Amino acid sequence: MSAAASPISDQVMPRGGLAPIPLPPGRRGTELAMIGFAVMIMAFAWAASGFGLNGHIPPGLITYVGGFAVLLLGAHLAVRFLAPWADPLMLPLAGLLNGLGVVMIYRLQESGVGKNPGQPISTLTANAALTQLIYTAVGLIAFVVVLAVIREPRVLQRYTYTLGTLGLIVLAIPAILPARFSDINGAKVWITFGGFSIQPGEFARIALAVFFAGYLVRKRDVLSLAGRRVIGIDLPRARDLGPVAVIWLASLLVLVFESDIGTSALFFGMFIVMIYLATQRTSWMLIGVLMFVGGAAIAQEFIPHVHERFEVWLHPFAQALGNGYQVVQGLEGMAFGGIFGTGLGQGEPYHTPLVQSDFILTGFGEELGLTGLMALVLIYALITQRGLRAAIAVRDPFSKLLAGGLAFILALQVFIILGGVSNLIPLTGITTPFLSQGGSSLIASWIVIGLLMRVSDAARRPAPQPIQDEGLTQVVRAG
């Protein structure tokens, strides 16, 4: 248990004194300073991309970076009121990623436009960066709403089954809708209406995390105690496997009907890890991994779409102009960037299809080099670790599970997408948190940050101060 989480009990009342107990630092000043730093990095990146493209500071420096700074400041002020004890690093780190994403999208949108070098990207509109900035605003509003509405993380436990049902329904909608309402670029994971499109899976993920946390908190004793021991591994009872099997099937169905391997892997990974957290049984991890690998192997055999991905993974250059084109372009882009990168605006990320969404990390690898890419990976690692730290620090088991699951899913998402685009593992099209172009992913990611900060606020918040009545009240340290 961290020192910050329980400082109050360590305070010894001065004998006979009336001095108030000093509150632990909220670290909001640190957060503000870090936000300033993040905005500065974004401003430099913005200017650098303009210099790289055409030798001028881009016209939108004040509007875009200024607007972004105002949004982050607003979020910071809201945190001061709504979650004053929350982790001071999450907001600036997520903000930095979001800001760099906007810069990269701007740089890509300007490619080949006017006298800028490069080729225009047909899948990107002329004001994609502005749209992304608007999504950022919506995301930060959602972030503030989460903090405002959910004052205690454990109140979510009440909506375990409501959110679980909602999550499954939302997840299933694209599979049921006709393709013209749900299919974009071969993945049937969208709901489109009137020019707008959302990816319900991004939000279903959060609802299901809440559901898993609520469900597992109740069932964890049954899941961890009953069962047999085989070769040193505690196996659960067959009937307790039921819900796991249901989720496994659901994730496979997502895979089959929505051609979305990434999302199914994410769901399944999150569920297995949360069972593990709830039961502390390694056997669950083992079963989960075996089930997923088995499922993937079967899918690879029978679903052509999945089989293709495996072929590309094993022999990308054998089909450099066919199915492997995107992966090959991404790899060549990263290699082209080398250690220090070409500099923003000076590489050729536009050769890689969908470099603004799934492949955005290869774009960063190309223009910011290994150095920049490692920095981004480390930022993700930091957010994950801060989330897990909040989970460790908070006392309520539901909050622990929720925060642990959400933090892990962020790490898993980064692993799947960066591993995929760099051909470490088969490519599965999922978004890159905070960086990818697109509203659903960005807003959902900000909701996750809101929930994690709510949990960390709960963990670090001092217990309500007892009414000081000297002589009658005594602070007793609980064991």
CB atoms within 10 A of CB 262: 24
Compute how many residues bind other proteins; rule: CB under 8 A: 56
Among 127, 119, 106, 47, residue whose Cα is nearest residue 348:
119
d(CA 427, CA 319): 15
Among 464, 469, 381, residue whose Cα is nearest residue 8:
464
Encoded amino acid at 101, one letter = G
Least separation, in Å, of the C-beta of 274 and other proteins? 10
- Tokens 């690692």 identify what position? 381
- The reply on whether position 407 binds other proteins by CB under 8 A is yes
Least separation, in Å, of the C-beta of 280 and other proteins? 5
Q: Is 334 exposed, middle or buried (0-12, 13-18, 19+ CB in 10 A)?
A: buried
- Pick 124 or 331: Cβ nearer other proteins: 331
Interface pick for other proteins out of 244, 296, 391, 453 (rule CB under 8 A): 391
CB atoms within 10 A of CB 20: 8
Interface pick for other proteins out of 49, 157, 283, 329 (rule CB under 8 A): 329
- Tokens 């995107």 identify what position? 326
- Pick 184 or 378: Cβ nearer other proteins: 378
Residue 189 contacts residue 247 (beta carbons within 8 Å): no
The beta strand positions in 128-231, using DSSP E, are 191-193, 196-198, 228-230
Interface pick for other proteins out of 40, 152, 377, 462 (rule CB under 8 A): 377
- The reply on whether position 461 binds other proteins by CB under 8 A is no
Interface pick for other proteins out of 134, 424, 466, 468 (rule CB under 8 A): 424
- The reply on whether position 144 binds other proteins by CB under 8 A is no
Phi and psi at 370, nearest 5°, equal -55, -40
Interface pick for other proteins out of 169, 176, 293, 381 (rule CB under 8 A): 381
- The reply on whether position 71 binds other proteins by CB under 8 A is no
- The reply on whether position 401 binds other proteins by CB under 8 A is yes
d(CA 335, CA 331): 6
- The reply on whether position 347 binds other proteins by CB under 8 A is yes
- The reply on whether position 271 binds other proteins by CB under 8 A is no
- The reply on whether position 213 binds other proteins by CB under 8 A is no
- The reply on whether position 369 binds other proteins by CB under 8 A is yes
Encoded amino acid at 219, one letter = K
| Torsion from C-alpha of 255, 259, 262, 264, nearest 10 degrees | -20
Residue 130 contacts residue 103 (beta carbons within 8 Å): no
- The reply on whether position 262 binds other proteins by CB under 8 A is no
d(CA 435, CA 202): 14
Least separation, in Å, of the C-beta of 49 and other proteins? 14
Interface pick for other proteins out of 88, 324, 333, 433 (rule CB under 8 A): 333
Residue 390 contacts residue 363 (beta carbons within 8 Å): no
- The reply on whether position 450 binds other proteins by CB under 8 A is no
The residue range among 37-45, 182-190, 298-306, 389-397 that interacts with other proteins, by the rule CB under 8 A, is: 389-397
The residue range among 167-175, 180-188, 345-353, 462-470 that interacts with other proteins, by the rule CB under 8 A, is: 345-353
77 to 27, 31, 37, 82, 336: CA distances (angstroms): 13, 10, 17, 9, 42
Binding site for other proteins (CB under 8 A): 1, 112, 115, 117-118, 273, 276-278, 280, 317, 320-321, 328-329, 331-339, 347-348, 351, 365, 369-370, 373-374, 377-378, 380-381, 384-385, 388-389, 391-392, 397, 400-401, 404, 407-408, 411-412, 414-415, 418-419, 422, 424
